[in-house]
Amino acid sequence: MEGIFLPPPALADCVRSALLTGVPGGAYVLPAALHPLLLVILEGGIAVRRAGVEHPLPLLSVCGGTRGVREARAEPGTRILTVPLLPGGLRALFGVPGRAVMEEAVDPAVLLDVAGRGALARFVDSRRPAAACGSAVSRVWELLCDIRRDTDSGSALCVPPVLLALPADELAECFGVGLRQFERRFLDSYGQPLRSYRQQVRCSRMLAALSGGNPAEGWAAVAAREGYADQAHLCRDVRRFTGHTPRELQAGIARLDPAFWPYHIDPATLARHFGPSGF
């Protein structure tokens, strides 16, 4: 049952898809995340390390976007379901803007009203053994339909990736709003300012090149093609957003190191799951 699952029509404006996958046991480094997402732990467990202390994640977490890496550890046999949220999806489902959970992994119970917490409790109580994981995706869709607020996600700002390189004032003009209003709506919808989001998008797109081994033209040429000032600039961004140098990342991918499992997922699957912006 591992793979990608599209949402029902009632959720198509809030979430992109669901990806069911296994996570090797042991320590690993999570890359920076452009998108807020829902993380459902179907089997096993995951703990995130903060200030040297491991904090176990609940069965279901609302994870905000992050501008840096996170250290984590998974129990052997862990299986997860990830559901990236579209711009405005957090507000439509939980009534909060993207910036409210940036850098955080939140128990959804703190974001829900009484009815929503009841639906969440029923979802948790219905957790089934490994043999019945095939129903996990449909149960997650049912939960999200049950907790969805009346908020209209259509009011969210959604910038086509091909326009991201435009100056902010030109983007504001494209959407028919002033610059300050555009910046506020972008922060509300995406969870971080336009400038930092652009930096992360550029690095996320770089990961596709890394997964294919050493680029034929060399890293200096790649840096120039992708808009970096130089190769050192590229290396700083890769380390910042993945926790590794480009060579370390390539080596881990090439030897199928379990600690690099996020990069072992098929690139086409990742592109379908997260969209053209990457992780």
What is the CATH classification number for the domain harbouring 111? Answer: 2.60.120
In this predicted model, which residue has the larger pLDDT, 269 or 155?
269
Rounded Cα–Cα distance for residues 264 and 241 (Å)? 17
Helices (H), the chain: 89-94, 114-125, 136-147, 168-174, 179-190, 194-210, 219-225, 231-242, 246-254, 267-274
233 is a domain residue: yes
Check whether residue 130 and residue 217 sit in a common domain: no
Q: Judge if 106 and 197 occupy the same domain.
A: no
Mean pLDDT over all residues of the chain?
A: 86
Nearest-angstrom CA–CA distance, 263 and 23: 12
Judge whether 182 lies within some domain: no
Considering the domain architecture, whether residues 27 and 104 belong to the same structural domain is answered as yes
pTM of the full structure: 0.88
Confidence at 118, pLDDT banded by 50, 70, 90: very high
Q: 149 and 12 share a domain?
A: yes
Domain count, the chain: 2
The reply to whether 47 and 126 lie within a common domain is: yes
pLDDT confidence band for 131 (50 / 70 / 90): very low
Q: Which of 93-102, 137-146, 213-222 has the highest mean pLDDT?
A: 137-146
For residue 68, what are the domain limits? 3-155
Torsional sign, CA 206, 208, 212, 215: negative
Q: Residue 149 has what pLDDT?
A: 80
DSSP 8-state class, residue 8 = P
Confidence of residue 265 (pLDDT cuts 50, 70, 90): confident
> What would the mean pLDDT of 261-271 be, rounded to a whole number?
82
Query: What six digits make up the tokens of 270?
Result: 């990742």
What average pLDDT does the segment 39-52 reach?
Answer: 92
* Mean local confidence (pLDDT), 46-73: 92
